[in-house]
Amino acid sequence: MASPSKALDPGDAAPDQVALPLGGLSPSMDVLAVAAALASRGHNVSVVVPQDDIPFSRSAASRHGGGDGADLLEWIAYDMPFTVNSEVMRDMAARVKGVRNPLRVLANLMEVMGRPCSLMFSNATLMAALESGRYEAVLTFNMPGDWADSCGCVLAHSLGVPLMTVHGIPFITAPLSVPQFGSGLDDQALATWRGRTRNLLSFMMTRTMSAVTGIVSRRSMAGIRRQRRLPRGPASQGRACAPMLQLDANSFHLDPPRPLGPPHALIGPIAPRFARPSLEPPEVAAFVDSAPAGVAVVSFGSAPIFGTFLTRKDFLELSLAFADLAPTRVVWLLKPRNMPDDVSIGELPLGDNTITAPWVSRS
């Protein structure tokens, strides 16, 4: 593999943290926002990211980080053959396509996602640069099961520094006596037998999924740990994966107030995003401002794999369906890499009421 674009000179000033976004996905935006916020407050932060994701990552840090922190980040790029058209991504799509059981979907995804971590650790030049950087912490995002083991945890153990995480897709726990997060229940619902039953089922499901994904996560990192001779061990020796600091970036204000289960603690926003007078980019803003009868926003999320589940026929039928919504206008957040190989944006029969854009700043 190619060497990182900027190796670290041991004689340079030692950076404080190394951020590990691991690809252009939405949880990476949260990590980059926190990294930029830390940089704006005087910390030295290096960002380790695949070469192909540098444009996305720079843009995300600038858009979501606030202030001038994005300009202060140090970027360490490395090659990773892990694109939407790669064999790895196609294998991931094959494993989860048509699977209805959410536990099986998570398990399959986590097994495949162990591969980019293995590719990163096999880059001897990159690892030598990181090990010589004298970092004080590793900052990355959490996925289900990462409490048991993760790529960020292995890197932190390899560098001998604490782990900090932004909880990207959390199973947030709460005591059984209060409504569970994501259950849709409130305090009044718990006064009924039906509400208490639903709350109990949600409580049990969260813990079951956490346990299963923890087993899969340990398994997906086992090979890397054997190669690096970094066995997990007791927390007292710094060999467990519980982060020193975990940032939960979810919108808690959408749920009724309730206590958090250990070890969570709500401390408030890290980097507030200030409202802007208009949308970006300008062409989308003009399209929305002139809408005669409302606007619908359609998005598959930042993970390109989900769009590839659809076929050419699906995309053509979606385009026609959006056209039927006129005079309501449709903003379709659509990237070319989110589409199957046999269809392009230019081929879609879009109505006059539909516009596509790779991203829209909706703050």
For residues 245 and 101, state if they share a domain: yes
Across 249-271, b (16+ Cβ under 10 Å) vs e yields bbeeeebeebebbeeeeeeeebb
- For residues 133 and 8, the answer to whether their CB atoms sit within 8 Å is yes
Lowest-confidence pick of 158-172, 209-223, 240-254, 287-301 = 240-254
For residues 249 and 286, state if they share a domain: no
261 within some domain: no
For residues 76 and 170, state if they share a domain: yes
312 within some domain: yes
212 within some domain: yes
Average pLDDT over residues 87-103: 61
Amino acid 92: pLDDT: 62
184-216: pLDDT as tens digits: 788 888 999 999 999 999 899 888 888 888 888
46 within some domain: yes
Report the half-sphere exposure of 37 (CA within 13 A, side-chain side): 15
**Between 338 and 38, residue with greater pLDDT:** 38
Burial of 327 (0-12, 13-18, 19+ CB in 10 A): exposed
40 within some domain: yes
For residues 291 and 204, state if they share a domain: no
Rg (CA), the chain: 22
Convert 89-143 into a string of H (helix), E (strand) and C (coil): HHHHHHHHCCCCCHHHHHHHHHHHHHHHHHHHHCCHHHHHHHHCCCCCEEEEEEC
For residues 235 and 286, state if they share a domain: no
Could you identify the residue written with the tokens 């360490």?
Answer: 76
For residues 192 and 320, state if they share a domain: no
Please, what sign has the CA dihedral across residues 50, 55, 56, 58? positive
> In the chain, how many domains are there?
2
Residue 100 has pLDDT above 50, yes or no: yes
How many Å apart are CA 47 and CA 49, to the nearest integer?
Answer: 6
Task: Tally Cβ neighbours within 10 Å of residue 130.
Answer: 24
For residues 187 and 289, state if they share a domain: no
Q: Which helix (H) or strand (E) holds 50?
A: strand 45-50
Lowest-confidence pick of 45-54, 151-160, 213-222, 227-236 = 227-236
With cut-offs at 50, 70 and 90, classify the pLDDT of residue 12: very low
- Chain centroid to Cα 174, Å, comes to 23
How many Å apart are CA 144 and CA 147, to the nearest integer?
Answer: 8
Q: Which domain holds residue 206?
A: 17-254
For residues 234 and 286, state if they share a domain: no
CATH number, domain at 95?
3.40.50.2000
For residues 22 and 104, state if they share a domain: yes
Lowest-confidence pick of 95-104, 326-335, 345-354 = 95-104
320 within some domain: yes
With cut-offs at 50, 70 and 90, classify the pLDDT of residue 111: low
93 within some domain: yes
For residues 185 and 57, state if they share a domain: yes
Lowest-confidence pick of 166-170, 218-222, 273-277 = 273-277
3-state secondary structure of 306: helix
Instruction: Give ∠ CA 104-107-168 in degrees, rounded to 5.
Output: 115
For residues 205 and 308, state if they share a domain: no
pTM, two decimal places = 0.68
Give bridge partners of residue 18 from the DSSP assignment. 46, 138
For residues 121 and 32, state if they share a domain: yes
Amino acid 85: pLDDT: 47
259 within some domain: no
Q: What is the DSSP letter of 312?
A: H
